Structure 1
Amino acid sequence: MTQRIEKQGNKKNYDGYKSFQYLEAGTDYKEYKLSKENDRVAPYEYPVSAAEEEQVQTIMEEDYMVSMHEHTFIMPDNLQEFYEFRRQGRDWTAFEALSQSGLDVIFENFMDGTAMVTSQAGWKWSDVIHDIGIRFSDIAHQDMVIKAERIADLYRAKKEKKIAFVGALESSTMIENELDRLDVLYGFGIRTMGIVYSEANSLGAGLREPNDGGLTVFGKQAVQRMNKLGITIDVSHAGDQTSLDTIETSEKPVTINHAGARGLWDTKRMKPDDVIVACAAKGGVIAIEAAPHSTITHNHPKHNIESFMEHFEYTANLVGINHVAFGPDTLFGDHVGTHELLSGKLSIKSAQMAGMQRVEYVEGLENPAECFPNIIRWLVKKGYSREDIRKVAGGNIFRVLEETWAK
């Protein structure tokens, strides 16, 4: 482990704002002890030389850093309070940590499937709307994070030393059988959506289902509506046939915004080669995830940055450098403990395989503030060109958004 380097490229203009400081704790909401934003675990910096570190800082300062999948809220410190905390329907954003993350654009997935205000099953329409509204209300009271609704917002954020939040949801379950709800979500600021999460919904089959009948008739209608609206479609948690059907049905590129390669680790949570190839052939991008115990390999059965980057290189070798990016899928708090608490609801059970070494956290990829500096260090250390780093750090994602968002 190296010492934390004082200089951090691409630091944002942050005025000290804390979530909901315009309200009164104890009167307007119940206060909980939250996890630390920084240094919850021992800080880790991927080892590079001084000259390489200078390159890293220059790249982060000058090029666009885009995470295609994150949850930037702060978990309660005591996970036994998780369900009570969730029922309050109010999440705190880690603004201070994000100001030092080096990120310019973050695909923010809110509470997502854990929006459990009225039901522990998640994905209820009213709960998702409540969650999005509360978070954007908080964001509207500060000036560092901006709500990204057009491509110009993404470019503006970096110029102004701010961070653009792209509203994202991992599933379309909450629209039930109503296409117009996609319009409503777009109006609220959602710009990318998954077709399905674990359990099947009215659009198709999730990756936990034993049988995958593919995209439904309604699912095809939803894909067409998302194309028309300018919502980028994602198939990270969709079953294999549903993924292939979605890619074929969509007139625009489709993403896999947080996954890995099944060719390296044989679980449903990872994507098989044919789905990865189909996604890239349509012009899409595959972003590699780092949620605990996901992107591991037989070479690196202990989840760390080396196993994560092995999935990156496998995918890049399979479909080319123009179709890979990063969607670490991290949060602020005990991610492993959260998975264990929600193991019956999340698509992670299949990852518990013989040979895997359990970790308490993923070293160097622990939260949204720690990931990208270490990813860029790894790429520089391994000799990737500036142009290739520019593509995988954000350029490939920008290309897909240019093709899928409303002009």
Structure 2
Amino acid sequence: MTIRGTWLCSLMLLGSLGCAGLRPPPEEPALAVAPEVLRADLHVHVTMRAALGPLFQGEPGDGVLAGSHAERFVNQVDAAALRRAGVRLILATVWPPPATRPGRSALGEALHQLTELEAFTRRNPDFVLAHGAAEARRKLADGQLVLIPAIEGGEGIQRVEDVDLLYAAGARSITLVHFVDNPLADAADDQFGAVVGGLANGRDGGLTPLGVDAVRRMIQLGILIDVAHASDRTIEEVLAIAGPAGAPLLYSHTGAGWAATRCLSTPLAQRIAEGGGLIGIGLFRSPFQEVPLSERWEGFQPGTCDDDVAHWLHYARQAGPEAVMLGSDFSSAILRARPGGACAQGLRHTGDLPTLFSALEAHGLSRDTLDNSGERLLRLLEAVERRADPSVLSSARNLPIPRDDLFLDRGEHSSGQ
């Protein structure tokens, strides 16, 4: 099957549940956190409407918020709710959809989605962009809710110079692969289960020669490399390059290795943590395999946020609690925890995060570990930035950004970040 065909099948599968009617955000209890609390989320789609268009309803700030865990194509992100949860630093992930728009390449789509993220912050003053750790620290000190631009999927990278363009356009983290293999690397197999996933599975390999060069260029630019969705061999080969270079990695959103092949194995989680990297726990409900009995507790309710707590605890035990934090994947079209267990309302949107954090604390994670995840992300960004090559950075920063878009004059361009 072609990549485009696989993408379309995937969207049809995800869209089969549809979405319920829209409603304004519900009133949430005032759950105060101390001003010094700085939590992070490693994977949030704040501009999914820009990617999916009419298939997706709402965006932060427009008064539309999912009212139940089943509303998968409705905005799930609210600035006030994030503040109540203490989440003020976010890797804002743009998803370049398949190149089905005439006149726009995969690279053009990625650049377009980064532009959409900039436009979102201009019309929504609750959020600000930061393009490095120092800028993020300054804006956080001013009390702002900070977004670091990230891209999910390197399909647009057809040559190593394309990494420079994405950096110039603002990207500070790049997920090498998504649901299918691309010019950079092999993606994890069976990401939609054995039946549908079999249609998407490609080569059994790791990094391509271009992928090797792209990883090295990302390190030279101080781009945080995200190995979520990658095959084990891909992750091993990225570690073999990044480790000697002193560049820690990110696995932005996952569930425990028992859940599905797309999830991060325990040995690789340990290696990422040992290298100073971070692992984000995605708030999704696996339709393929339940949490093993050995990982449950008395009163455990499968399909609720108890699953997410179990996944978090698993990685905290295996890789260390400081290496694990939230990677919610909010505002993506995935299954979420239904009501019950530790979360009476389920995990509908960011307003339910305080309940999740309380459940994690009740199961033994320290408040300090939960509350300082933002600082740990800042330190990770700083560690990656220290590996950058000043000459490569200087060249990339001065690049003009091409606008590969059917609806814009092909002669238009914008200056780099």
Alignment-derived partner of residue 249 in structure 2: 254
Alignment-derived partner of residue 380 in structure 1: 361
Cα separation, partners in 2 of 1:63 and 1:84, compared to 1, 3 Å: closer
Q: Conserved in 2, the CA contact under 8 Å of 1:109 and 1:170?
A: yes
Alignment-derived partner of residue 320 in structure 1: 320
Alignment-derived partner of residue 297 in structure 1: 291
Q: C-alpha separation between the residues in 2 aligned to 1:91 and 1:221?
A: 38
1:134 pairs with 2:116: yes
Cα separation, partners in 2 of 1:216 and 1:74, compared to 1, 3 Å: closer
Q: C-alpha separation between the residues in 2 aligned to 1:67 and 1:116?
A: 28
1:366 pairs with 2:348: yes
Q: How does 1:150-299 map to 2 (within 5 A)?
A: 150-176=132-158, 178-208=159-189, 209=201, 211-250=203-242, 251=245, 252-262=247-257, 264-265=258-259, 267-293=260-286, 297-298=291-292, 299=296
Find the residue that maps to 1:143 and give its secondary structure. Answer: coil
Q: C-alpha separation between the residues in 2 aligned to 1:364 and 1:65?
A: 21
Q: How does 1:347-362 map to 2 (within 5 A)?
A: none
Q: Conserved in 1, the CA contact under 8 Å of 2:132 and 2:148?
A: no
Alignment-derived partner of residue 125 in structure 1: 107
Q: Conserved in 2, the CA contact under 8 Å of 1:259 and 1:287?
A: yes
Which letter does structure 2 place at the counterpart of 1:149?
Answer: H
Which segments of 5 or more consecutive residues in structure 2 lack a partner in the other structure? 1-19, 64-77, 190-200, 389-417
CA deviation map 1:60-118 (0-9, x unaligned): x3211210001124659xxxxx96626xx9984446622332221111112x1436660
Q: C-alpha separation between the residues in 2 aligned to 1:83 and 1:139?
A: 18
Which letter does structure 1 place at the counterpart of 2:357?
Answer: I
Report the TM-score, using the length of structure 1 for normalisation.
0.70
Q: C-alpha separation between the residues in 1 aligned to 2:139 and 2:32?
A: 18
Cα separation, partners in 2 of 1:139 and 1:44, compared to 1, 3 Å: closer
Find the residue that maps to 1:114 and give its secondary structure. Answer: coil
Q: Conserved in 2, the CA contact under 8 Å of 1:69 and 1:107?
A: yes
Q: How does 1:9-48 map to 2 (within 5 A)?
A: 35-36=22-23, 38-39=25-26
Q: C-alpha separation between the residues in 2 aligned to 1:74 and 1:274?
A: 33
Q: Conserved in 1, the CA contact under 8 Å of 2:163 and 2:217?
A: yes
Q: Conserved in 1, the CA contact under 8 Å of 2:205 and 2:234?
A: yes
After TM superposition, give the deviation of residue 325 of structure 1 in Å. 1.0
Alignment-derived partner of residue 72 in structure 1: 46
Q: Conserved in 2, the CA contact under 8 Å of 1:44 and 1:364?
A: no
CA deviation map 1:131-159 (0-9, x unaligned): 22133123224432111112123223333
Alignment-derived partner of residue 392 in structure 2: none
Q: C-alpha separation between the residues in 2 aligned to 1:128 and 1:36?
A: 31
After TM superposition, give the deviation of residue 360 of structure 1 in Å. 9.3
Find the residue that maps to 2:359 and give its secondary structure. Answer: helix
Cα separation, partners in 2 of 1:212 and 1:360, compared to 1, 3 Å: farther
Cα separation, partners in 2 of 1:383 and 1:72, compared to 1, 3 Å: same
Q: C-alpha separation between the residues in 2 aligned to 1:232 and 1:37?
A: 36
Q: C-alpha separation between the residues in 2 aligned to 1:154 and 1:108?
A: 13
Q: Conserved in 1, the CA contact under 8 Å of 2:88 and 2:145?
A: yes
Q: Conserved in 2, the CA contact under 8 Å of 1:71 and 1:108?
A: yes
**Which structure 1 residue ranges, 4+ long, deviate > 6 Å from structure 2?**
none
After TM superposition, give the deviation of residue 223 of structure 1 in Å. 0.7
Find the residue that maps to 1:149 and give its secondary structure. Answer: coil
Cα separation, partners in 2 of 1:323 and 1:83, compared to 1, 3 Å: closer
1:145 pairs with 2:127: yes
Moved more, 293-302 or 206-215: 293-302
Which segments of 5 or more consecutive residues in structure 1 lack a partner in the other structure? 1-32, 46-52, 77-81, 340-357
Find the residue that maps to 2:33 and give its secondary structure. Answer: helix
Q: C-alpha separation between the residues in 1 aligned to 2:125 and 2:238?
A: 37
Matching residue within 55, 80, 102 for 1:99: 80
CA deviation map 1:152-201 (0-9, x unaligned): 2322333323211111112111112x111111111111110111112111
Q: C-alpha separation between the residues in 1 aligned to 2:92 and 2:371?
A: 21
Cα separation, partners in 2 of 1:127 and 1:211, compared to 1, 3 Å: closer
Q: C-alpha separation between the residues in 1 aligned to 2:180 and 2:57?
A: 25
Cα separation, partners in 2 of 1:84 and 1:225, compared to 1, 3 Å: closer
Q: Conserved in 2, the CA contact under 8 Å of 1:293 and 1:359?
A: no
Q: Conserved in 1, the CA contact under 8 Å of 2:256 and 2:311?
A: yes
Moved more, 159-168 or 379-388: 379-388
Cα separation, partners in 2 of 1:90 and 1:130, compared to 1, 3 Å: farther
- Alignment coverage as a number of residue pairs: 327
Q: Conserved in 2, the CA contact under 8 Å of 1:35 and 1:74?
A: no
Q: C-alpha separation between the residues in 1 aligned to 2:374 and 2:178?
A: 25
CA deviation map 1:30-58 (0-9, x unaligned): xxx9944624xxx898xxxxxxx9xx733
Q: Conserved in 1, the CA contact under 8 Å of 2:228 and 2:254?
A: yes
Find the residue that maps to 2:81 and give its secondary structure. Answer: coil
Q: C-alpha separation between the residues in 2 aligned to 1:44 and 1:296?
A: 30
Give % identity.
Answer: 20
Which letter does structure 2 place at the counterpart of 1:270?
Answer: C
